[in-house]
Amino acid sequence: MRFVVCGLTRPGIQCLELIAQRGARPIVLLTAGNEEILPVAEVDLLAETYEIHRLTARELGAAVAEANGVLGRVDDVCAVTTTFHLAAQLAASLAEVRAVPGPSPASIALALDKAQVRARLDEVGLPNLAAVVLGPTDAAPTQLRYPVVAKPVNGFGKVGAAICADGVELSRHLHEFRRDQRTWRAGVREVVADSVIVEELAVGDLYSAEIVADASNRQCVLAVRRKTGALNPILELGSTVPALLPPTDLGVLMDYATDVCAALGLSSGVFHVEVMWTASGPRLIEVNPRIAGGAIPDLIGSCTGESLFEALVATALGRPAPQAPWVARHAVSHTFLAAAERTLVRPDLDQGWFAKYLAEIDSGWSTLRPGTRLEAMSGNFDPFGVVRVRDTTPAAAEARCVELLDRIEDELRFPLVRPSAR
């Protein structure tokens, strides 16, 4: 039987290994623009082991038709899933066409539209943030309570997002957003809408809730404390588990995130819900109708011994969601490495500079090379590395990450983006 994976991320390669271990044959359908996330050279190496096809169509209907043409008429597709945000709609639509388990295309479309999500939460009476939607030519409204967050209605990875302190800053951001869209990387500029949602700024600590759902049941398996930028809280700089919330508050947050997914009709998959814990309780930041990206699945695996990717494969096959919540065995924290300003990496930096840190941490990586040009971090695509550590408590693990940042910054001789202190 063939198990189809639409789009692919570097962490998502683990899915292919799990699928093969379960006796299915993984088939990868790379979507247009996927090379911006997984470079061609890496795909070519994977193609030596797995069957990989590149789709060229960008419009959803055409992409579904092209995918069906690649797969043929033989009825041996047992599952369809994705780990790639831009392929979530394609995966759901293809699963529906092939009559295999998966979230409904309508629920994915709803979750991908931040304006519709806000409206839906208001409809069902869940705690929510006030928001207004601006079209491609709309000016900043005169009646808003500042500060606000402005972002594309279907954006992701913090592309085009900014905190605006007043109407002048909002007007400037709208101008720059509309001007700069054409310079965004391929696969982003073709997808991200011209419309912007302007939301009240939620103040508090950011968490993500990892929701696993089968056809009839949704449950939050774990909540993760998210690190945000000390100077720019829109930037995400890492995560810590267990989450640093009292048990009662943690239960409220996990239930709230599960209720959000229920309100949107999300089922048969793994979903990543970002929630701010404010003085008034939980407030939704955004719903990602796909598995958590970046380093979070590895973080959770290191902490609990459980696998989000295994849960994704299981739900795609129509099997029951795993028991929840997952129990932390120890504390784990990771922090991303990213430049705080535009800089040129010193050419005399040792090529193997990162190896000594690997010897003392749980895991990590870096792509930084001597003489390379770095831009200041502005979104989720900008980190050049990560350090992950284990310790006895979440606070101790986070403190070790700070100590590592201090040492790495001293060695590199340029400032790194720092997470805010609790």
In terms of domains, do 373 and 281 share one?
yes
Determine, yes or no, domain membership for 281: yes
Cα-based distances in Å from 133 to 151, 194, 234, 238: 10, 11, 19, 30
Task: Please count the structural domains in the chain.
Answer: 3
The answer to whether 92 and 290 are in contact (CB under 8 A) is no
In terms of domains, do 304 and 327 share one?
yes
pLDDT at 58: 87
What's the CA gap between 394 and 134, in Å, rounded?
A: 40
The answer to whether 120 and 46 are in contact (CB under 8 A) is no
In terms of domains, do 64 and 139 share one?
no
Determine, yes or no, domain membership for 331: yes
pLDDT at 32: 80
In terms of domains, do 185 and 226 share one?
no
Which domain, by its residues, includes 366?
205-412
CATH, residue 342: 3.30.470.20
In terms of domains, do 183 and 240 share one?
no
DSSP codes, 308-349: HHHHHHHHHTTPPPPPSSPPPSSEEEEEEE-BSS-EE--TTS
In terms of domains, do 306 and 259 share one?
yes
Determine, yes or no, domain membership for 123: no
In terms of domains, do 53 and 174 share one?
no
Task: Pull the structure tokens for residue 93.
Answer: 């639509």
The answer to whether 83 and 290 are in contact (CB under 8 A) is yes
In terms of domains, do 88 and 182 share one?
no
In terms of domains, do 214 and 186 share one?
no
- What's the burial of 270, exposed, middle or buried (CB within 10 Å: 0-12/13-18/19+)? buried
Task: Pull the structure tokens for residue 246.
Answer: 């009292």
Mean pLDDT by 10 residues, the chain (422 residues): 94 93 95 83 92 93 95 89 94 96 97 97 98 91 90 84 94 88 61 85 96 95 95 92 93 98 97 97 97 91 95 95 90 96 96 95 94 91 94 95 97 96 74
CATH, residue 177: 3.30.1490.20
CATH, residue 72: 3.40.50.20
Beta bridge partners of 163: 149
Determine, yes or no, domain membership for 14: yes
Helix (H) or strand (E) holding 99: none
Q: Which of 138, 165, 200 is the last residue of a domain?
A: 200
pLDDT tens, position by position, 340-369: 999 999 999 999 999 999 999 999 999 999
What's the CA gap between 258 and 209, in Å, rounded?
A: 8
In terms of domains, do 249 and 331 share one?
yes
In terms of domains, do 251 and 228 share one?
yes
What's the CA gap between 16 and 49, in Å, rounded?
A: 10
pLDDT at 344: 96
**Strand ranges inside 104-217, DSSP E:** 131-134, 148-152, 162-164, 196-200, 205-213
Determine, yes or no, domain membership for 81: yes
pLDDT at 386: 95
In terms of domains, do 160 and 298 share one?
no
